[in-house]
Chain A
Amino acid sequence: MQEIIKKALERGQRALSEYDSKKVIESVGIPVTREKLACSGDEAVVLAEEIGYPVAMKGCSDKAAHKTEMGLVKLKLTTADEVRKAYDEIVGKGVELDGVLVQEMVKGDREFVIGLSRDPQFGPCVMFGIGGIFTEVIKDVSFRVAPLTELDAEEMIDEIRMKKLLGEFRGSPAVDRKQLVKALVGIGDIGYKHNEIAEIDINPLIIAGSSPVVVDALVVLNNPN
């Protein structure tokens, strides 16, 4: 993690790419999507077959904080032809990219958000709540000041209005709370120990079966440059 952050700061980045953001998040033991960076259409096909269809493809850049709006996200790709075509379209947008991310499609109806922000008086704060594209409209979130105890994490999970979604839901098993607690405590610890990280968005955090998986993430840096 230290290495990724150091390089990004040296390069004057304001944020990390999705790929690097997930590496930072994964380092505290939070499961992320299986994914690899492709630098050509052919390479993308090889990776897609390795990961298994369907796949998602995303243009990967530290300057692409709003990938969907920029046309850099292609979902549910099921054939080699679709992957090649998606590769060309993403690269064709003219955004400077580190490569194109080929990523497993995680199955799950329940989407949550975990975030980190910094309060001027209280310092690093962890957020948990309902994720997905309507996060800010639904605004069903809770906060805790980092570092978090496991009890803090348990309490903040229970504070959201739609906490019933965490139980058994439409044939899906209950969410693995231990993993969720570990993720919240882990994000808090990142915030408490790394002043060079200003903000984190993990959205969506999709529940695959009972396990939370980070599907998209953004790490914003405190870059003095």
Chain B
Amino acid sequence: MNVTLKESSLEKFFNPSSVVIIGASNAPFNLGATICKCLKEYISYRGTVYAINRAGEAVCGCDGFTSVHDLTEPVELAVIITPARVVPQFVRDCGAKGIQHIVIESSGFSEQGDEGKRLQSEIDEAARQYGMRILGPNCLGVLDIQSRFCCFYGAYPEIVEVFDKPGGVSYIIQSGGVGVLLLESLMTDVQGPHKMVSIGNKSDVDEADLIEYFNRDGTQVIAIYLEHVGNGEKLMSMARRVSKPILVFKSGRTAEGTAAALSHTAGMASNDAVFESACRQAGIIRLRSVGELHSMPKMLTEMPLLRGNRIAVFTNSGAFGSISADLMVEAGLALPRLGAASRELLAKIGGVFNINNPVDIGPAPPQTYLDIFEILLSDKEIDGLLLMSSIWREFIIDVMKELVEMCKRYDKPAAIYTPNSVARILSVRKEFGLPLFDTAEEAVRALAVSHEQFRYHRKKENPYARNHQESA
């Protein structure tokens, strides 16, 4: 039952000094060529890129060879993007050549019937024989902002934009389509990604290995899109050891329990219910939509954690005050009555319609906003803030910038939603780097996520130790 990890580091998948793209050619619509083009032309990867194709021709300025054996310089990473049937032979060639890290982007393996399964086991066999690490098959590859490396096939020139905005969130995705959605969405967000890796059929490297890897690099938040869990115990034990936030959106919620089970328990134990429980036990935050993979991390990278559930709402619209009150209760957050001291201070400021929670103001100058932030954040009975003020004057942007700084000082978070059009929110968020949420629901959810992460911090412990001791 013990989880053993291979010693080999995953670093070379993200930061190789040289890479060979097996299957890159000058044929029309060749996918391997898009990788060469991205590395050479879009992102100016600093290492050497080689192409392997039948003609041995150069592709997008990358030297071409007919076989891996013909490479004259050592290569750290191989990316294979050829028809599935020839992949096992290329993997063996790489092994013989001493290439230890292979990304297999080709599809047609365990996801496609018995022949595919057989091909995948041939790859596993070769990997074992040569001690190689395999990413994939059936994956999109790897993206690393810092090392300026990306082997996603089909990358388009706009991808350069994410490289200009490095961030702290590393993504583990099982499907390439989700990766594209995330990258595009992050272009209008506070931060771009730190790294992104697609795991596909995960014949070797899986989500647990990558959680461990991201725990040691500059990643601040680990966000995962998962279709199925390979080894649940390994995932849980790894997640328990990691204090960085781990966010997971998993599809397949509707799968039912084993119909053939003898006991009623087994009949009721759906895989989804078990996954949900595993997340709570191991300190994994379970997300509710694909969208939360890019909307939630900024609450964790830009703001301190929410240490309690008592929230003060501050709005310039009575409507949003009551909308947020409903959302807050649903999210398990409290909207306490403010203490006498805070109410007294608020009463002294002109233009406050409601000195209770939610605090509601009319048209007011910037200093009023700052004074109210100060009163609410310094209140010992308040753990965090929900700001819902529309950007009705440009100075709102300045007071929001100041709020971000004040939150750091008081070690309390604020979730910010400006009741403006989504287009306006996105443009302000992008231009000024403010952690704005698209909707009131998202902002309230972000507070709940932040508090969940805070509680996980306290409970990470390892129950396996107890059992191993007893049985020893």
Spell out A's residues near B (CB within 8 Å): 14-15, 65, 113, 115-123, 125, 127, 135-136, 139, 141-145, 147-149, 151-152, 155-156, 189, 192-193, 198-201, 203, 218, 220
Q: Does B262 lie within 8 Å of A141, measured CB to CB?
A: no
List residues of chain A with CB within 8 A of the CB of B257.
117
Does B261 lie at the interface of the complex (its beta carbon under 8 Å from any beta carbon of A)?
Answer: yes
Q: Does B278 lie within 8 Å of A122, measured CB to CB?
A: yes
Which of B265, B281, B461 has a CB less than 8 Å from the CB of A145?
Answer: B281
Does B464 lie at the interface of the complex (its beta carbon under 8 Å from any beta carbon of A)?
Answer: yes
In angstroms, Cα B266 to Cα A119, docked, is 9
In angstroms, Cα B268 to Cα A193, docked, is 22
Q: Which of B124-132, B161-169, B269-277, B337-345 is near enough to bind chain A?
A: B269-277
With A121-B228, A147-B467, A193-B467 as known contacts, state yes or no: A116 contacts B459, CB within 8 Å: no
Within 8 A of A (CB), among B247-276: 257-258, 261-269, 271, 273-276
List residues of chain A with CB within 8 A of the CB of B466.
147
Which of B261, B271, B276, B461 has a CB less than 8 Å from the CB of A149?
Answer: B461
Interface size on B, residues (CB 8 A): 34
With A117-B269, A155-B280 as known contacts, state yes or no: A189 contacts B232, CB within 8 Å: no
List residues of chain B with CB within 8 A of the CB of A220.
262-263, 266
List residues of chain B with CB within 8 A of the CB of A121.
228-232, 271, 274-275
Interface SS, A side: strand
Does B379 lie at the interface of the complex (its beta carbon under 8 Å from any beta carbon of A)?
Answer: no
Give the residue name and chain of the B residue nearest to A185 (CB).
B463
List residues of chain B with CB within 8 A of the CB of A120.
271
Determine how close the nearest CB of chain B comes to the CB of A174; give it in whole angstroms: 23
Does B233 lie at the interface of the complex (its beta carbon under 8 Å from any beta carbon of A)?
Answer: yes
Q: Does B262 lie within 8 Å of A119, measured CB to CB?
A: no
Does B236 lie at the interface of the complex (its beta carbon under 8 Å from any beta carbon of A)?
Answer: yes
Spell out B's residues near A (CB within 8 Å): 228-233, 236, 257-258, 261-269, 271, 273-278, 280-281, 459, 461, 463-464, 466-467, 471
Determine how close the nearest CB of chain A comes to the CB of B281; give it in whole angstroms: 6
Q: Does B262 lie within 8 Å of A122, measured CB to CB?
A: no
Q: Does A145 lie within 8 Å of B459, measured CB to CB?
A: no
Which of B228, B264, B274 has a CB less than 8 Å from the CB of A125?
Answer: B274
With A136-B267, A139-B268, A220-B262 as known contacts, state yes or no: A145 contacts B232, CB within 8 Å: yes
Determine how close the nearest CB of chain B comes to the CB of A164; give it in whole angstroms: 18
Which of A65, A113, A125, A147 has a CB less than 8 Å from the CB of B463?
Answer: A147
Give the residue name and chain of the B residue nearest to A14 (CB).
B262
List residues of chain B with CB within 8 A of the CB of A155.
280
Determine how close the nearest CB of chain B comes to the CB of A144; give it in whole angstroms: 5
